[in-house]
A = this chain, B = another copy of it.
Amino acid sequence: MTRRRVTMSDVARRAGVSTTTASFVLAGRQDMRISAEAEERVRLAAGELGYRPNLTARGLRTSVTRTVALISDTIATTQFAGEVIHGALDAAGAADHVLFIAETEGDPGIEIQLVEGMLDRQVDGFVYATMYSRKVRIPEALRDSRVVLLNCYEDEARAPCVLPDEFNAGRDAAAVVLAAGHTAGIHVIGGRHMTAETPDGVWAGLERMRGVEEAMARAGVRLDGVAECDWQPEDGHREVRRLLAAGTVPRALICLNDRVALGAYQALQEAELRVPDDVCVVSFDDSDLATWLRPRLTSVALPHYGLGRTAVEVLLDGAADPAVHRIAMPVRLRASHAAVVPSGEAAHKAV
């Protein structure tokens, strides 16, 4: 039942040539001249027999396995995961490679084990990924391997890295608010994510805010406030409530992610304020939530697919320079942004 796989010597025998000749034509090499006729016979035999090369054997001989490893802290477990893996898979598939996945769970001991396991299997390269954009150090065990950083970066910049273009995302989010005609009452919820655990903020927050502030400055408009907090729904809810309780009714809210926006929606709803007629809301990430909320949320999308895809492409393209590749974050215009309408004439925006 478990029939033996056909090997190259089966093909050679049937074609009446040596394995050398078979190897050369099947590898499609031109440097050694093979008669058209022999080539034809080999191809035919391979086709008839359904020959497929044993990549383990080839790997042993050449030490290339057409295999790449995606090692992450905990990426596979998050929202982030799906499209990143999808993009990586597409790029790997296009180059006829196959993808190992592994999670370190942030544990250096596990990390080293996993990396060695991959090395034992002679993977051709590594994508080293993190869930949140942040600074990392490439593990020592990877010193002799090709590595591309995904969603993270290293100060020494020893490897190419692929990051979302958060700075321009910030500019674009601000541009949406400005284009809607707002010049006052603009508040940011979430800010740089300066919390007890991350007093200096997080990279995405710092970049997004840099972009927001650049765009505002350029337009000569001032932000009326930046609430620094965690980026969960309850934080958005609390901060908007606090604003409202203080008697401030914002005209536009730039929420640092969709979960924060969900919390903001809830607080606005409790106060019987309407989006977008009373308050304009724009957000970041473009998670599933953004299309589930009513009105649908205008959000600047994290380019998950592009990140995964580009990382593997860079890895496989073999360029050695440690360039940083910034992946554009597209704005998804939906129904939560608009100029504030004088009360009484609230227009009904199509969804």
Measured CB to CB, the residues of A under 8 A from B are 1-3, 52-57, 59-60, 63, 65, 67, 76-79, 81-83, 85-86, 89, 93, 96, 98-103, 110, 114, 116-122, 144, 233, 259, 262, 266, 269, 288-289, 292, 294
CA distance A266 to B292 in the complex (A): 11
Q: Which of A54, A57, A77, A266 gathers most chain B CB within 10 Å?
A: A77
- Across the interface, which residues of B come within 8 angstroms of A83, CB to CB? 77
Least CB distance from A249 to B in Å reads 21
Least CB distance from A135 to B in Å reads 24
Partner of A98, one of B3, B121, B289, B294: B121
Tell whether, in the assembled complex, residue B120 and residue A262 are in contact, meaning their CB atoms are under 8 Å apart. Answer: no
- Across the interface, which residues of B come within 8 angstroms of A292, CB to CB? 233, 259, 262, 289
- Across the interface, which residues of B come within 8 angstroms of A121, CB to CB? 55-56, 65, 67, 98
- Across the interface, which residues of B come within 8 angstroms of A233, CB to CB? 292
Partner of A76, one of B63, B78, B85, B103: B85
Closest to A84 in B: B76
CA distance A93 to B71 in the complex (A): 13
CA distance A186 to B62 in the complex (A): 67
Tell whether, in the assembled complex, residue B100 and residue A100 are in contact, meaning their CB atoms are under 8 Å apart. Answer: yes
CA distance A1 to B117 in the complex (A): 21
CA distance A2 to B143 in the complex (A): 9
CA distance A266 to B293 in the complex (A): 9
- Across the interface, which residues of B come within 8 angstroms of A119, CB to CB? 52
Partner of A103, one of B67, B89, B96: B89
CA distance A144 to B67 in the complex (A): 23
Least CB distance from A275 to B in Å reads 13
Least CB distance from A61 to B in Å reads 9
Tell whether, in the assembled complex, residue A86 and residue B103 are in contact, meaning their CB atoms are under 8 Å apart. Answer: yes
- Across the interface, which residues of B come within 8 angstroms of A288, CB to CB? 79
CA distance A102 to B262 in the complex (A): 33
CA distance A188 to B266 in the complex (A): 26
